[in-house]
Amino acid sequence: MFDGSPEDHFPVPAARTSAWRPVTQESPLVRAVLIAVALGGLAILVVAPLIVVFAEALAKGAGEALRSLAKPEALSAIRLTLIVAAITVPLNAIFGIAAAWTITKFDFRGKAFLITLIDLPFSISPVVAGLALVLLFGTNSLIGGWLVAQNFPIIFALPGIVLASIFVTFPFVARELIPVMIEQGRAEEEAALTLGASGWRVFLTVTLPNIKWALLYGVLLCNARAMGEFGAVAVVSGKIRGQTATMPITIEMMYNEYFSVAAFSLATVLALLGLLTLALKTLLEWRHADQLAATRRH
């Protein structure tokens, strides 16, 4: 039996040779349970609702779904939502760039307070935001009354919807840009200025290339929220059919009138837009993680 090899005298425990794992890992069973809980939870909570949108839209066939999208009510909603996004997103991008430039390139008192104010819309309910806009610009307010007299109503009209959309998307672009620009510092811009470049030239040729992916990332998120906003827009829009009813508002009206296929068909358009946003966002995260790294650290 004993041939003198050390293993016979000091047998290595079987458990350690067969199922050896680093001390920084959980046992395979724990792992499997955690993965199953995570995936199962995600499937029930997130994936199932998405599938239901498509299933309900196609409940009476693809033809019926497409016909419901061609109705004037749906078309005008799509048009309005595109207009709102086309105004909101550029304004928000300009604001985000201006705010990030001011905050990261200069030192001034009250900077932390300014950042808090920019983040404020995240902690205000969209409905309260809409209410605040109604109280400021509604017909029975001082400013609103005067604007209506000038034939430029804000509430129950396009400007109000745009203001509400800007409110709820307010921090999106600035929040993406600020961490990236802090990380990149000011040295490159200062060098360009020393070499005689004008302020605009410095921004366009030095700063913008450094922040373009983070900017695109912020714009994507801003666009998705602007097109999908419901609460704030519901309060300021007045829900006038064919005039101030955006896609989410029209979905609500159709759903409440039991036009299920029409509601879910329009919802499918927004869901596809959401999936597209998600895909582009993920692509940016994979390919330009270096530039976005700062944003994921919060």
Residues 98-127 that bind another protein (CB under 8 A): 98-99, 101-102, 105-110, 113-114, 117-118, 120-127
Q: 176 with 217: CB under 8 angstroms?
A: yes
Determine, following the binding rule CB under 8 A, whether residue 217 of this chain makes contact with another protein: no
- Residue closer to another protein (CB basis): 52 or 82: 52
| Residue labelled with tokens 């079987």 | 14
Residue 261 beta carbon to another protein: minimum distance, rounded to whole angstroms:
12
Binding to another protein (CB under 8 A) within 50-79 occurs at 50, 52-53, 56
Determine, following the binding rule CB under 8 A, whether residue 45 of this chain makes contact with another protein: yes
Binding to another protein (CB under 8 A) within 151-210 occurs at 163, 166-167, 170, 186, 189-190, 193, 198-199, 202-203
Number of residues in the chain: 298
Q: 213 with 291: CB under 8 angstroms?
A: yes
Residue 202: helix, strand or coil by DSSP? Answer: helix
Could you tell me how many residues of this chain bind another protein (CB under 8 A)? 102
Residue from 8, 49, 82, 243 touching another protein (CB under 8 A): that is 49
| Residue labelled with tokens 């990261």 | 104
Provide the residue type at 18 as one letter: S
- Residue closer to another protein (CB basis): 8 or 47: 47
How far apart are the two ends of the chain, measured CA to CA in Å? 64
Provide the residue type at 66 as one letter: L
Among the candidate windows 5-13, 145-153, 208-216, 272-280, which touches another protein by CB under 8 A? 272-280
Among the listed residues 121, 88, 100, the one whose alpha carbon sits nearest the alpha carbon of residue 214: 100
Q: 98 with 173: CB under 8 angstroms?
A: no
Residue 128 beta carbon to another protein: minimum distance, rounded to whole angstroms:
4
Determine, following the binding rule CB under 8 A, whether residue 281 of this chain makes contact with another protein: yes
